[in-house]
A and B are shown apart, each in its own frame.
Chain A
Amino acid sequence: MTSTVATPATKGGRQAPETSDRAKAESRLAAKLVAPALVVMLVVTAFPILRALWLSFYNYSLTAPEDKEFVGLSNYLTALTDGLFWRDIGMTVIYMVVTVGVELVIGFIFAMVMHRVIFARGVIRTSILIPYGIITVVSGFAWQFAFTYQNGFVNGWLPFIDDQFNWFGDTVPAVIAIMVSEIWKTTPFMSLLLLAGLAQVSDDMIEAAKVDGATWWQRLWKVIIPNMRAAIMVAVLFRALDAYRIFDNIFVMTNGAVNTESISFLTYRQTIEQFQLGMGSALAVLLFLSVLLVAFIIVKLFRVDLAQARGEG
């Protein structure tokens, strides 16, 4: 491997003007190196995606394989004209906006703490990151126990809540419980990404602003945040796409009862529980398209080009 790389490099060094040859050889090599990974990617991702697309045009139940029939776009029409689909989309957007919003604020505070802390740095950074190391399903169970009135502590700790209050009996409290679990578990991820952004902000600029007499608040808003816009955008984008696909916490905590289900949950129910592979696939395709839309909106909203976000700018 190394010898292949070395040959064009030495050749390029001797014949300075012919760098294009070297570039060509390099890109050819790159293509060869990437090819196996690309093939694997196509097999494990493109195939299922195309198959889901294909299945979505059928009325196909796993338990009645002989009744499989081509129905064209009928599954999409059914889904898009059904009130349940839009209710679940609305619910999903609420989950996404609220959890990402709260995580951004708390995550930023945590990032500042991790960035500035002078004593016990390792301990503090580690303890902030611990929840992210916990599996979402476990977090879901832990918070479900915490919120149940039979044996949980939440009712006891909140002074304005009745001890017998059932968090999972109605939509709003159940959604709050699910969001708390989601936020607790993923805020560390947000703060980790923001910490990387904070580290990129040059101390010189902050020093200069200080010399010019900027207050702490002005430095934050005029120097630090504008200079880490790319990092914020990556953090928000990653988390928003993750939050849009919320499933585990809902599955564990309410199993979709009291109207808490998200679009992923609806897709799961059609495919796995009802065995409706056609309708399930159509919903999965719609989920995929709406994730793309969310990504597009966020990229446009922050007006940041991704090359810059990757640190190439």
Chain B
Amino acid sequence: MSSSAPPPRRRRRRRSLAAATVLTCAAGLLTACGGDSGKPVLTWYLNPDGVEVLDGIAERCSTDRYDIETELLPTGATDQRVQLARRLAAEDDTADLMNLDPVFVAEFANAGWLEEMPADTLTDDTLEGIAETVRWDDKVYAAPLWANTQVLWYRKSLAEQAGLDMSGPVTWEQVIDAASSVPDAKVGVQADRYEAYVVWINALIQGAGGDIISDVEAGKDASVDIDSDAGRAAATVIQQLAGSSAAQGDLSVSREGTSLPAMYSGPGEFMTNWTFVYQNYKGLVGGDITEEDFADLGWARYPATVEGEESKPPVGGIDIGVGAFSKHPDLALEAAQCITETESQVRLAVDAGLMPATQSAYESPELAEAYPADLLALFQESVDQGGPRPKSAYYATISSAIQSVWHSPESVDPDTTPKESAKFLSEVLEGKALL
């Protein structure tokens, strides 16, 4: 009896200790929530690109009136969209600031989830391609933070060998023919069944003067224009590449990363890809490639779909949105302004390779040190004259519908694919077909 008596008491003591700990923690949490003397905390949801730089910006933009805390979103764009949308649909008042992929803006703004931005968010300084992504219904719903674009990367020696003059604009047909004329030379693109394949298709169609859909503000009743000469011109390019010796072996699952290694194996490649490519290959110098190899890397404007018509390079990047249900919308708008100012954009470009959305940031001396002048000019021109993907409240549906018909690239046929995808897209938008 005496030996069994102590344990319960000991247990009780331990239990009260635990309870005390819980209480202390809860009290600690409460004070943390309340902040020092009620200083508001703004939560900024980040996509995982350049997080360290963004953390630094959050710290710099915190003032004595509010603090900015960062939260990380999932890696995939689809998952980011789902998480943000679910928070906003539930009127989450902690969603103060959000990093938005440009294609989310129309969808979110249309749902009434984004606070309208002040008129001076966009100025003449903002590059037009990215400025276009934040406009919806004649208002501005987000502030461009950084702007991405695609250019044509290639090996100078390959272009020379194939006899392709890169001094002026080139067309997709010329690029594919040039690569086919050199054994083992490739044309790198993104054609897996995912968003970047739609980026390619959209750029091809816009390059031929068309659009996937128009009258986007009509929502579900938008006019589906993919079954057009422009749609057929785009399908012709994809068909030509898929049927040529220049197609990558893994064309139907090729992504941004998978098309990189072909640049420095054999004769090299022509590749359409985002701005990160420069820093990527620069980082390989001394390891996988030599200084000479790197000097052989060339860049040119995104290829034209049809001869004589200017190409419409793809535009990506990140826009900052302010949640409509934020407890402190005024402070969040102020923070968004600080986050997107020139200094932040320069830091992102120099430290993380994420290119600016304004002309003044492009003109900063720090950037001129980190990148060759002609490349900076090309990026800037490319964003300025680029074409956005359809701005629609139904963008995710449109993108999936296009992917489902246009994939795989080997099956694309100008006579049938645009027509079929127009029919399917209309049916899906009307709710008459399952996606």
Contacts and interface: CB of A to CB of B under 8 A. Distances in A.
Do A and B originate from a single complex? yes
**Highest count of chain A CB atoms <10 Å: which of B82, B85, B397, B431:** B431
B394 A61 contact: yes
B180 interface: no
Contacts, number: 56
A266 B434 CA distance: 9
B396 A74 contact: no
Contacts of B78: 273
Q: What bracket does the count of chain A residues touching chain B fall in?
A: 20 to 34
A84 interface: yes
Interface of B: 78, 82, 85, 89, 107-108, 110-112, 193, 219-220, 393-394, 396-397, 400, 431-435
Given A64-B110, A65-B112, A274-B396, A79 B85 contact: no
B310 to A, nearest CB: 33
A82 to B, nearest CB: 4
A contacts with B: majority SS: helix
A63 B110 contact: yes
26 contacts: A59-B431, A61-B393, A61-B394, A62-B85, A62-B89, A62-B111, A63-B110, A63-B111, A63-B393, A64-B111, A64-B219, A64-B220, A67-B219, A67-B220, A71-B431, A79-B434, A84-B433, A84-B434, A272-B82, A273-B78, A273-B396, A274-B396, A274-B397, A274-B435, A276-B431, A279-B431
Contact of B431 (A75, A85, A266): A75
Given A63-B111, A63-B393, A273-B82, A74 B431 contact: yes
A273 to B, nearest CB: 7
A275 to B, nearest CB: 7
**Highest count of chain A CB atoms <10 Å: which of B110, B112, B434:** B434
Contacts of B112: 65
Nearest to B112: A65
A63 B107 contact: yes
Interface of A: 59, 61-65, 67, 71, 74-75, 78-79, 82, 84-85, 257, 266, 269-270, 272-276, 278-279
Nearest to A67: B219
B421 to A, nearest CB: 16
B102 to A, nearest CB: 15
Given A61-B394, A63-B108, A270 B434 contact: yes
Closest CB pairs A-B (n = 9): A63-B111, A82-B434, A84-B434, A64-B393, A63-B107, A59-B431, A62-B89, A63-B393, A78-B432
Contacts of B220: 64, 67
A84 to B, nearest CB: 5
B107 A78 contact: no
A78 B394 contact: no
A82 B110 CA distance: 29
Contacts of A78: 431-434
B111 A270 contact: no
A74 B430 CA distance: 11
Nearest to B106: A63
A127 B111 CA distance: 52
A118 B435 CA distance: 55
A266 B400 CA distance: 14
Nearest to A82: B434
Contacts of B397: 274, 276
Given A272-B82, A274-B400, A279 B111 contact: no
B218 to A, nearest CB: 10
